[in-house]
Amino acid sequence: MASVTVSLRGWVFATVSLLNFAFVFISGADFIRFISFRAIYHNITGETILCQDSIPWSVALRDSSVLKSLVVDLGLLALFTVQHSLLAWSPVKQACQSVLGALNRTAYCFTTALALQILMRYWQPVTGAPCLWSVRHAPWSIWFPLLCFTVHFLCWAIICSILMIFDYPELLGIKQVYYECLGLGDPLSYKSPRAQRLLSHLRHPVCLELGVVLWLLPALSLDRLLLALTLSTYLALAHSLDKQDLAYLCVQLNSKMQIFAEPQRGSADASDQDKSNHKEK
């Protein structure tokens, strides 16, 4: 009976973690569309008016609709940052761990994705104020949005690659459930102390790329300024890398480069050996 209960518990945990992975993946795709491609697409097509340059700032900042939109957006950003920080705070994290166990990381990712969905769905664009900048004159009105699209695409590709290398099953809580089902404990305990230290200081390994996509746009509206400024500040304060972390990263990078270089060196040595054998013949 106990084995049946443990097996059923494992299936429930696995189902919950996989459903959460699907929800986080969909939310991530929505976030890419929200941050990058929607703003660039609207700038290229001109279907949506992002700002009103004819309205002076003194008038726009006294407009009740502009102020209301900014207050709503600021509240949505506060909701996301409070959720993302509160659940990562050690006392709250330990309390959730004692209650949820292996599903603690899954719950953290789910609430983060849910907060992002709320932010994206209820975000209020500020269209009644001037843009801080806007590229509207030919030929840059065509070429600069295309350049932004290309840079954003490359940045998101790099972000996805980094997440794949950075042990994304552990980041999303899948590995915790897998290890729990096998009775192996916490997967973080199998990492070296230096790796655990790095993860505690840097849980957002995509700061630079995300900063680029937040700021590099053909037009920067007032609500986008609020979004970019808040998230950039949060990213800058969310990690605390030091010299030991950088030294560990350099060691890991050098080891990876040596691994990539060894097959090429081996093939070069084999080629030289073939040439020498051919000369001897």
Q: 202 pLDDT band (50/70/90 cuts)?
A: low
Structural domain boundaries, residue 279: 244-281
Which of these, 278, 249, 55, lies nearest to 166 by C-alpha position? 249
Q: What's the structural domain count of the chain?
A: 2
Average confidence score pLDDT of the chain: 80
Summarised one tens digit per residue, pLDDT across range 87-141 is 888 898 889 888 888 899 899 999 999 999 999 999 999 888 888 888 777 777 7
Classify residue 198: in a domain, yes or no.
Answer: no
Tell me: do 72 and 7 sit in the same domain: yes
Classify residue 133: in a domain, yes or no.
Answer: yes
Tell me: do 145 and 259 sit in the same domain: no
What's the Cα-to-Cα distance from 96 to each of 88, 99, 100, rounded to whole Å? 10, 5, 6
Tell me: do 94 and 150 sit in the same domain: yes
Classify residue 149: in a domain, yes or no.
Answer: yes
Of 51-55, 59-63, 143-147, 267-271, the one with minimum mean pLDDT is 267-271
pLDDT for 22 beyond 90: yes
193 or 198: which leads in pLDDT: 193
Summarised one tens digit per residue, pLDDT across range 206-215 is 678 888 999 9
Classify residue 199: in a domain, yes or no.
Answer: no
Tell me: do 161 and 254 sit in the same domain: no
pLDDT at res. 171: 81
pLDDT at res. 235: 84
Summarised one tens digit per residue, pLDDT across range 44-82 is 554 456 777 778 888 888 889 999 999 999 999 999 999
pLDDT for 281 beyond 50: no
158 or 263: which leads in pLDDT: 158
Tell me: do 31 and 71 sit in the same domain: yes
Tell me: do 187 and 280 sit in the same domain: no
Summarised one tens digit per residue, pLDDT across range 221-248 is 899 999 999 999 988 877 666 566 667 6
On the 0-12 / 13-18 / 19+ scale of CB atoms within 10 A, 20 is buried
Summarised one tens digit per residue, pLDDT across range 148-185 is 899 999 999 888 887 777 777 888 888 888 888 888 88
Tell me: do 235 and 257 sit in the same domain: no
pLDDT for 255 beyond 80: no
| 20 φ, ψ (degrees, to nearest 5) | -65, -40
Helix intervals (H) in the chain:
2-32, 38-45, 57-60, 64-86, 90-100, 104-122, 140-165, 168-171, 174-182, 193-201, 207-215, 222-238, 243-280
Tell me: do 90 and 211 sit in the same domain: yes
pLDDT at res. 278: 45
Tell me: do 147 and 267 sit in the same domain: no
pLDDT at res. 82: 93
Q: Which residues of 24-40 are buried (b: 16+ CB within 10 A; e: fewer)?
A: beebbebbbebbbbebb
265 or 257: which leads in pLDDT: 257
